[in-house]
């Protein structure tokens, strides 16, 4: 499936806005996760979500992912789903390189598409005993159909669609598969990496930061989006007034009159073409006058290169890779010397 750059650089808040990629075919079916006393004793479990409560009676063996990133949370817990949903990148099994080690020698999941909505018949044919749509924009109708197939965990009721944090995704998935304590440790370990970066880079604290893309002009990601949270987790502060601009969505387009909001301590652009889109942005008469541009504090990431992809695919498996690759670019951009070039890191 192909999603527009605001959701590759985000996903659209409604399925009607999705442009969709052709899916790669799935490989052979993954084996089910092994049972353990710890997981079997955790059931039944009930998880509240936007459309009600999912009750999972026993340890799930066949998990279908209809959200966009939950496979990484599962893999971080040693669980391989039988199916994933293609977001972007067309990786075999919808498994990105940062997750390959966690997959190990396991067979890659079958890949579902969302070109014309959820493939309900294919989901049913997989005979799942759990369906995960935590990082999603499921509608009430979608949920009703899926819940007739198997217990379904939809997006949280207190988050915007596609707005749930990676921590909540991981912990929700952990609870659903009977690995709550393991999920807590996964989250704690990744959060410790953020803490180490903050300690090593005290200039991040209090500096303003923002992520944007060139969707229908300039599109910015707000405090309810994983990209915005990534920056605040590093110590950055999002621009004043951003929450009012994005409202109840994960992001929003800026009017030309609000281009000044882009003038932050550091600005990360998620673009489809590094050279073409960078040149276009920097040639904009309004943007070219901003200090973030003249002082070399803007960073450009191509969506389908690994660093750009990891910036949208925020998960416990992508984040260690992203911190390693992106933090040096952030420090170079913020060193106070416009002559210091930010070195592009594609992979």
Name the domain boundary from 179, 212, 231: 179
Q: Looking at the structure, do residues 128 and 218 belong to the same domain, yes or no? A: no
pLDDT in tens, 159-207: 999 999 999 999 999 999 999 999 999 999 999 999 999 999 999 998 9
Q: Check whether residue 296 and residue 154 sit in a common domain.
A: no
- Find the range with the poorest average confidence among 27-41, 81-95, 294-308: 27-41
pLDDT at residue 216 tops 60: yes
Domain stop point among 130, 149, 179: 179
The Cα–Cα gap between 334 and 234 comes to 14
* pLDDT score of 39: 65
Q: What is the mean pLDDT of residues 51-73?
A: 98
Distance (Å, whole) CA 259 – CA 293:
12
pLDDT of residue 14: 33
**What strand order describes the sheet that includes 251-254?**
251-254, 218-221, 209-213, 266-271, 298-302
Q: Which of 66-70, 226-230, 269-273, 334-338 has the lowest mean pLDDT?
A: 334-338
State both tokens at 121: 């018949």
2 pLDDT above the threshold of 70 = no
Give the domain range for residue 264: 201-333
Tell me if residue 208 falls in helix, strand or coil.
strand
Predicted pLDDT of residue 38:
56
> Hey, what are 252's tokens?
């929003």
Within this chain, do residues 310 and 236 fall inside the same structural domain, yes or no?
yes
One domain for residues 208 and 173: no
Would you say 302 and 273 are in contact if contact means Cβ atoms under 8 Å apart?
yes
At 114, list the tokens.
Answer: 């969302």
Q: Is pLDDT of 6 > 80? A: no
For the domain that residue 88 is a member of, what is the CATH number? 3.40.50.1980
pLDDT for 40: 64
Tell whether 230 is covered by a domain.
Answer: yes
Q: What pLDDT is recorded for position 175?
A: 98
Domain C-terminal end among 149, 179, 209:
179
Q: What is the DSSP letter of 343?
A: P
Same domain, 119 and 261: no
Higher pLDDT, residue 339 or 226: 226
pLDDT for 224 beyond 50: yes
Q: Do the domain assignments include residue 339?
A: no
Look at residue 186 and tell me if it is in a domain: no
Residue 44, preceding bond cis, omega within 30 degrees?
yes
For the segment 25-51, the average pLDDT, to the nearest whole number, is: 65
Whether 173 is covered by a domain: the verdict is yes
Q: Is 193 exposed, middle or buried (0-12, 13-18, 19+ CB in 10 A)?
A: middle
- Could you report the per-residue pLDDT of 274-289, keeping only the tens digit for each? 999 999 999 999 999 9
**Cα separation of 127 and 111, whole Å?**
15
Residues 51 and 166 in one domain: yes
Distance, in Å, from the CA atom of 85 to the CA atom of 87, rounded to the nearest integer, reads 6
Residues 75 and 14 in one domain: yes
For 81-99, how does the pLDDT look when each residue is reduced to its tens digit (9 = 90+)?
Answer: 999 999 999 999 999 999 9
For the chain, percent of residues with pLDDT exceeding 90: 80
Q: pTM for the complete prediction?
A: 0.88
pLDDT at 126: 98
User: What total number of domains does the chain contain?
Assistant: 2
pLDDT recorded at residue 347: 65
Give the CA diameter of the chain: 63
Nearest to 165 by CA among 155, 175, 177: 155
Mean pLDDT of the chain: 88
Question: Across residues 9-22, what is the average pLDDT?
Answer: 33
CA angle 321, 160, 229 (to 5 degrees): 35
140 and 235 fall within a common domain: no
**Looking at residue 34, what is its pLDDT?**
43
Question: Strand (E) positions, 7-89?
Answer: 45-49, 52-56, 63-65, 83-85
pLDDT (average), residues 302-317 = 96
Task: Encode pLDDT of 96-137 as tens digits.
Answer: 999 999 998 888 999 999 888 999 999 999 999 999 999 999
Considering the domain architecture, whether residues 130 and 264 belong to the same structural domain is answered as: no
């Amino acid at each position: 499936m192909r999603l527009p750059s605001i959701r590759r650089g985000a996903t659209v808040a409604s399925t009607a806005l999705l442009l969709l990629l052709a899916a790669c075919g799935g490989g052979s079916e993954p084996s089910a996760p092994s049972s353990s006393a710890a997981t079997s004793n955790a059931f039944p479990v009930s998880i509240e979500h936007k459309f009600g409560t999912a009750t999972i009676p026993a340890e799930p063996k066949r998990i279908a992912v209809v959200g966009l990133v939950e496979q990484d949370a599962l893999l971080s817990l040693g669980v391989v789903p039988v199916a994933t949903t293609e977001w972007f990148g067309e990786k075999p099994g919808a498994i990105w390189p940062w997750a390959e080690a966690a997959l190990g020698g396991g067979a890659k999941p079958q890949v579902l598409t969302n070109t014309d909505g959820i493939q309900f018949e294919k989901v049913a044919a997989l005979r799942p005993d759990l369906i995960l749509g935590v990082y999603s924009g499921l509608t009430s109708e979608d949920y009703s159909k899926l819940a007739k197939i198997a217990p379904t965990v939809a997006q949280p009721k207190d988050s915007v669609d596609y707005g749930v944090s990676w921590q909540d995704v991981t912990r929700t998935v952990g609870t659903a598969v009977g690995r709550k304590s393991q999920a807590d440790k996964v989250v704690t370990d990744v959060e410790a990496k953020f803490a180490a970066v903050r300690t090593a880079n005290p200039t991040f604290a209090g500096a303003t930061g923002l992520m944007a893309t060139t969707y229908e002009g300039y599109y910015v990601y707000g405090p309810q989006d994983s990209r915005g949270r990534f920056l605040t987790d590093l110590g950055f502060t999002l621009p004043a007034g951003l929450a009012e601009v994005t409202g109840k969505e994960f992001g929003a387009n800026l009017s030309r009159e609000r281009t000044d909001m882009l003038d932050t301590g550091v600005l990360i652009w998620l673009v489809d073409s590094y050279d073409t889109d960078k040149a276009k942005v920097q040639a904009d008469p309004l943007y070219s006058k901003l200090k973030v541009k003249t002082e070399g504090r803007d960073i450009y990431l191509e969506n389908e290169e690994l660093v750009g992809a990891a910036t949208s695919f925020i998960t416990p498996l992508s984040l260690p890779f992203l911190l390693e690759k992106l933090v040096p670019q952030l420090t170079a951009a913020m060193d106070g010397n416009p002559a210091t070039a930010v070195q592009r890191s594609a992979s």
